[in-house]
Amino acid sequence: MDEITVQAINSMAGILQSFLPPAVPNVGQNLVVIPTKVKPTGLGGYIGVNETPTAPLHGRYIKAITEVSLSSSNGVGPLQQSTTNVTRQLLSQDRTTLRTNGIFKIDLDDLSAISRSGTGNNTTDSRSIRFNLEFEFIPLPVAPQGVIDTLEYNLELALASGKAEFFDWHFANLQAAGTNPLTQFDFLDDPDLNPASPAGNWLFDAVSGTLQQTQDVQGGPATLTTARKAGAQALIKDGTQPFTARNLIIKADLQSADTDGIGFVFRWQDANNYYFYLMSDRHDYHVIGKKVAGTFDFLEQGGRNETIGYAPDQIIHSQLIIEDQKFRVYMNGQHILTGTDASITQAGRIGFLTHRNNDARFFNLNLIRFST
């Protein structure tokens, strides 16, 4: 087991132990964490770069069974009280507390029957409580002046309401497992392309492990003189069915040898109704826009940053948080823009988008979908 995984399991156990209530008198209380699945977070475990000290960040995502064993030598009454205390304490933690401690999910899995051992006045009553747990661990690096022991987590999850579901498409891993990444998408071109625009061409490059779009698909100008940004789209599927969401977090690692538009579509209803996010290095902008009833437009408020582009030929860690009418964009951990709009409120499809870009590359797609 690698060092980060060992640290993650120990950290998870320590956090859960801190959540437990004080033991009821004459009741033994013991917690055990049993990992059932461990996987790297980000791109093969790589999250990004920590600024101070400058060093790469790596993380692990763990699913585990947490079992709390209780035993009473003073009858079932204290045991039942301890059962109530433990379940209430672990299941009543608020979302902010859970997220700031890296916990995405904790729910009750099983409550065993009370069993008795021993005879006469020397009996012991016991039971176990099992919880399902999902946990992310991202340790900060060691600084020369000492050890930084603060953990960074996906704090943005605390800002959204509802149950969180996690979906991960890592295209190189899909190929290695025998699944063609191209089968995970529906590919289409916006019907509002320029007359001379070529059709989109999506392919998977096994050498780089990337989904690629290689044609200069275009509708509308490269600048922000208008919101018309028709292009090539790749809509993700959940198995054989379209993946849809209303509130969610989109994370992806992107790369572009071209300097024009690359980004996402979301809440996609059909080819004439959806939101989009694009970034352009050629014209130094990031924009969230919309197409409603076949007409492109900017958001009702915000959604434009015309001061920064992106670095061509470098991996871009892109993140889009969609919460009701509010949308936020982060690039490489930096907040880029915020916008609000209420034109499309229904759940819709999610996917990649290119505009006037003939060398766009996508390494993965991670989605966190919130449902109430």
Per-residue model confidence as pLDDT tens digits over 12-47: 888 888 888 988 888 999 888 888 888 776 554 455
Has residue 168 got a pLDDT over 70?
yes
Has residue 140 got a pLDDT over 70?
no
Q: What percent of the chain has pLDDT over 90?
A: 58
Per-residue model confidence as pLDDT tens digits over 206-257: 999 999 999 999 999 999 999 999 999 999 998 889 999 999 999 999 999 9
pLDDT of residue 171: 92
Q: What is the dihedral of CA 240, 242, 246, 251, to 10 degrees?
A: 70
* Predicted model pTM: 0.61
Contacts (Cβ under 8 Å, ≥6 apart) of 329: 277, 286, 288, 318, 319, 320, 321, 335, 336, 337, 338
Has residue 273 got a pLDDT over 90?
yes
Q: Assign residue 209 a region: left if phi > 0, alpha if psi is -120 to 50, beta otherwise?
A: left
Angle, helices 3-19/76-91, rounded to nearest 10 degrees: 120
| Token pair 């045991």 in the structure block, residue | 79
* Mean pLDDT of all residues in 146-152: 37
Q: Please, which pLDDT band fits residue 59 given cuts at 50, 70 and 90?
A: confident
* Mean pLDDT of all residues in 131-152: 61
The CATH H-level (homologous superfamily) assignment of domain 164-371 is Exo-inulinase; domain 1 (2.60.120.560)
- CA 243 to chain CA centroid, nearest Å: 15
Per-residue model confidence as pLDDT tens digits over 309-356: 999 999 999 999 999 999 999 998 889 999 999 999 999 999 999 999
Q: What ranges do the domains of the chain cover?
A: 3-159, 164-371
Among residues 248, 206, 253, 209, which one has the least CA distance to residue 46? 253
Q: Please, which pLDDT band fits residue 359 given cuts at 50, 70 and 90?
A: very high
Q: For residue 90, which phi and psi values (nearest 5 degrees)?
A: -75, -35
DSSP state, 307? S
DSSP state, 333? T
